[in-house]
Amino acid sequence: MSTQDFVRAARVADIDTVVEVQVAAWRTMYGPLLPEPVLAELTGAEAASAFAEQWRAAVRNPPTSKHRLLVGTHDREVVGFVSVAPSEDPDRWPGTDGEILALHVDPAATGQGHGSRLLNAAVDHLIEDGIRAVYAWTLEAANPLRSFLEASNWQPDGARREIDMGVLVPMVRLHAAIGP
């Protein structure tokens, strides 16, 4: 039996699995950094419900034609997703700068090329939209997303911020040039 791996636009029917992947990836990424009660709140049923509503809205009514939610599939089952949009950072220009808002692969399916397919599809869409540079915020601490992006030749651009997740979590912004 052959396997089939694809990237396609997300459908409303995919949202529950997108949220399952997001929660599993967050547990893997943030688990070592956050106190268990905070992690439980961020990945619990109430948070999952809020994520599902946000992703449904993103699929049904994206803010612009440049906002996209793509899913990676393996044998027709969603195993990861990526969300892209024009950058909203104040030091970036949304006409030529794009952002990876989220990129997650089910931890059980990592290392099988799904992240690369998702990232390549996201970059293809951004290039079609006239984007020349793409950015992504990730944890400053070692984590799967940062390692993956840096292995794909993304580099820190010097921007930093902290997000309050019950404790302050340092973030860094990575970037890659994708157009002329």
Token representation of residue 9: 């636009």
pLDDT tens digit string along 34-71? 888 888 888 899 999 999 999 999 999 999 999 999 99
CB within 8 Å of 136: residues ≥ 6 apart: 99, 100, 103, 145, 149, 154, 173, 174, 175
3-state secondary structure of 158: strand
- CATH code for position 9: 3.40.630.30
Spatial separation of the C-alpha atoms in residues 106 and 110, rounded to whole Å: 7
Domain count, the chain: 1
pLDDT tens digit string along 107-158? 999 999 999 999 999 999 999 999 999 999 999 998 889 999 999 999 999 9
pTM for this predicted structure: 0.93
For residues 169 and 163, is the Cβ–Cβ distance under 8 A? yes
**What's the alpha-carbon Rg for the chain, to the nearest Å?**
16
Residue 4 amino acid letter = Q
Token representation of residue 54: 């946000």
Q: Within its chain, how far is the Cα of 155 from the centroid?
A: 17
- Which domain range does residue 32 map to? 5-177
Spatial separation of the C-alpha atoms in residues 58 and 60, rounded to whole Å: 6
**What strands lie across the sheet with 68-74, from one edge to the other?**
5-9, 68-74, 77-86, 97-105, 133-139, 168-177, 155-164
Per this entry, what is the length of the chain?
Answer: 180
Spatial separation of the C-alpha atoms in residues 2 and 11, rounded to whole Å: 24
